[in-house]
Chains A and B, each alone.
Chain A
Amino acid sequence: MDFRLSAEQRALRDGTRKLLEGRFGRQALRAAVDGDVGGVGGGGVGRGGRVGGGGCIDRALWRELGAAGLFGLCLPEAEGGVGLGLAEAVLVFEECGRALVPGPFVATVLAAGEVPGAARGETVVTAPFGGLVPWLDAADVVRGDVAGAVALDSVDPLTPLHRLPAGASAPAPVPRTATLLYAAEQLGSAGRTLEMAVQHAREREQFGRPIGAFQAVKHLCAQMLVRVEVARAAVYAAAVTGDPDETAAAKLLADEAAVQGARDCLQVHGGMGFTWEADVHLHLKRAWVRAELSGERGEAEERLAATL
């Protein structure tokens, strides 16, 4: 047993981080959020931060990530994929969550090998998850029944959402791999908000010292790290075993780490944390969206209770 990352896995993680930092760094993130939001960016905030023209996929970025093998990670090499396992996919998705890259990555990865062009990043694929459909208007291919889907005013400025009509048949269960990949994104986001909180706590001074020297702030950060590391153990283990119960546990713990982590990060940032300008709200809003897309919380809890 050696639960640490292998040298290859560390290289994959570092390489993905570097690629995303270069291609979708903070400037690109802010341009995606503010540049396309008619009348909202920088100035007055619309209701919760609605998406204006932000519902567009950056096709060049998408193709580039496809060329880097991001969508065909788990597809055998003979079928044009990279031939890696779920553990590697989880590491890559952790980086996507960290960078807040927008787009229906999970649905597209699941479609790789089945929908032409998906693995290469030429075809953008979406699918309904848990009664919601992300990026419906921007996608080339929709897998699953989305008849009567109604657009909603998405809380996340970088994830347009449709809801399936109420009263229709119960939504199909979220595929286990989708739940796991969303959990990996949550983990990446939680790790990032922890870094942001720690950096701010080190730099921001009040009462003549960095606020991170005060235990009240220090302990918030320590608890963030504890949640990240517990979630990391759960997500990585679920990726290695592929076990559906461990995947449900990974979802619960990663959702907790991402949502509570973003909220604590917001708190550490004080007034700045409440602004549109700070990135914290983007992490919180995306974490809320992922927590819904990866399956209903109660279902995961019931599944785990049934194992007892």
Chain B
Amino acid sequence: MDLAYTDEEEEFRARLRKWLARALPTLGPKPPPGDWPGRRAYDTGWQRRLYDAGYGDVHWGASPTTRLIFLEETERAGAPYVGANFVGLLHAGPTIAAEGTAAQRERWLTPVLRGDEVWCQGFSEPGAGSDLAALRTRAVRDGDTYVVSGSKIWTSHAEVADWCELLVRTEPVSAEVPRHRGITWLAMPMDTPGITVRPLRTLAGSTEFAEMFLDDVRVPVGNRVGEENDGWRVTMVTLSFERGTAFVGEVVACRRVLGELAAHARGTGRWDDAVLRRELGCLAAEFGALWRLIQRNVSEAQAAGGVPGVGGSVFKLRYSHARQRLYDVAARVLGGAGALDVGQQWTLDRLSSLSYTIAAGTSQIQRDIVAERILGLPRGK
């Protein structure tokens, strides 16, 4: 049990801090949420700065501990988050790095690291959410192309993406082909004819993701990563990355928000409410422990050669709930009118927090994972 960082790690932290202090003041203003081209340019521009400074591949090349320090320090300094680069850096990129051919890695990885190309994710479908293997988007082989038809949903950054990591069914489910077989992973260029993107408005009022309709979209067979019908296994590689260190920056941010809530409560007199004050104390315990849990998961991932374990599900279950609790308490700190005013950032964040127990595996699915894979309880039907 050692929580001290090595000299090398501390040196990395100090160097990064110094660089951030120089780089961040030269960054332009953050574009408004509705300005998708502006957001893309802002996020990819920042990724290019990181690449030029030697931090471009920190999500893949660095050790889990180095990545932890990177995410901690960039959040502390108020640097942009991965944003539009999310799928490229944290989903598609790691999948291609692990499963792609040399030519595929050459073609797709560097543009992601340089912030030249943006990826989106075409996994979920209207009929395949938690039950992803129920996906029905069809791909039929026609010479050296796949002809793809179907629809995808919850596709973030679809409006501005160059590529889509797409899951398609290449073999219909039958007595011989179980559901998890017959799925194939494709890289689909987003400028191919036959793709229609329709933005979806969230309950927070923003258009954070989209529906995508595919109508005889022709994708070269050379864009397939992994074998035909082996896409489920290829996908599981991606999902384990998503549940690794994805929330490090957010926990740092939540701890900062907690401090801001306390300062606000002290300023308005709400701090005199012992019930509210103690609830803030409980949240301090909660987010402190979540940080320690991240450090433990990172220690385990580091020992396992960088592969994140099921500890990510344990973390996500607690964190998503804690985040919702944080913004419920924020509403109490703001008081009646403030809690109803979406002009208040905390009120908007409260609305956004509602997605956390659903996105990237609902809490119910995570509990199944924990119960079956960690505790060894029998699979139910």
Contacts and interface: CB of A to CB of B under 8 A. Distances in A.
Interface of A: 1-6, 9, 87, 194, 198, 201-202, 209-210, 212-215, 218-219, 221-223, 225-226, 229-234, 236-237, 239-241, 245-246, 248-250, 252-253, 298, 300-308
Contact of B318 (A226, A304, A307): A226
Given A3-B292, A249-B288, A303-B281, A213 B378 contact: yes
A248 B286 CA distance: 11
B109 interface: no
Contacts of A305: 262, 277-278, 280-281, 284
A198 B376 contact: yes
Given A198-B376, A219-B371, A222-B371, A246 B1 contact: no
Contacts of B296: 3-4, 232-233, 236
A300 B367 contact: no
Nearest to A1: B5
B281 A215 contact: no
Contact of A198 (B282, B298, B375): B375
Contacts of A202: 376-378
A2 B281 contact: no
B281 A302 contact: yes
A1 B378 contact: no
Given A249-B284, A308-B262, A213 B380 contact: yes
A1 B3 contact: yes
10 contacts: A2-B2, A4-B303, A9-B1, A218-B368, A219-B367, A234-B285, A240-B1, A253-B285, A298-B274, A300-B281
A13 to B, nearest CB: 11
A233 B371 contact: no
Interface in B281-309: 281-282, 284-286, 288-290, 292-293, 295-296, 298-300, 302-303
B65 interface: yes
A223 B295 CA distance: 21
Contact of B380 (A214, A222, A302): A214
Interface in B248-289: 258-259, 261-263, 274, 277-282, 284-286, 288-289
Contacts of B368: 215, 218-219, 222
Contacts, number: 170
Contacts of A194: 375
Contacts of B289: 230-231, 233-234, 237, 249-250, 253
Contacts of B299: 1-4
Contacts of B92: none
Given A222-B366, A240-B3, 20 more contacts: A1-B3, A4-B299, A5-B1, A198-B375, A218-B372, A218-B377, A219-B364, A219-B368, A223-B317, A225-B375, A230-B289, A233-B292, A249-B284, A301-B277, A301-B285, A302-B278, A304-B281, A304-B285, A306-B281, A308-B258
A-B complex: 9 closest residue pairs judged by Cβ atoms: A308-B262, A249-B285, A305-B281, A301-B281, A304-B281, A301-B278, A222-B367, A233-B292, A234-B289
A241 B281 CA distance: 19
Given A1-B5, A230-B318, A308-B262, A225 B281 contact: no
A308 B284 contact: yes
Contacts of B4: 1
Interface string B352-381: 000000000000101110111011111111
B262 A237 contact: no
Contacts of A232: 296
Given A2-B302, A3-B299, A221-B375, A304 B284 contact: yes
B284 A222 contact: no
B9 interface: yes
Interface in B108-125: none
B314 interface: yes
Given A198-B377, A215-B380, A240-B2, A225 B278 contact: no
A193 to B, nearest CB: 13
Contacts of B285: 234, 248-249, 252-253, 300-301, 304
A209 B300 CA distance: 35
B311 interface: yes
B244 to A, nearest CB: 15
A200 B183 CA distance: 38
Given A1-B9, A215-B364, A226-B314, A209 B281 contact: no
A5 B376 CA distance: 23
- Most A Cβ at <10 Å: residue of B261, B277, B372: B277
A108 B276 CA distance: 37
Contacts of A306: 281
A269 to B, nearest CB: 15
Given A198-B375, A225-B375, A4 B281 contact: no
A295 to B, nearest CB: 13
- Most A Cβ at <10 Å: residue of B6, B280, B293, B318: B293
A66 B210 CA distance: 66
B346 to A, nearest CB: 15
A9 to B, nearest CB: 7
A198 B377 CA distance: 7
B221 to A, nearest CB: 41
A158 to B, nearest CB: 28
Given A305-B281, A307-B284, A230 B303 contact: no
B1 A304 contact: no
A20 B370 CA distance: 29
Contacts of B278: 298, 301-302, 305
A252 B314 contact: no
B277 A302 contact: yes
A142 B344 CA distance: 56
A213 B284 contact: no
Contacts of A221: 371, 375, 377
Interface string B1-15: 111111001000000
A3 B3 contact: yes
Contacts of A5: 1
- Most B Cβ at <10 Å: residue of A6, A253, A304: A304
B331 to A, nearest CB: 17
Contact of B377 (A3, A212, A239, A302): A212
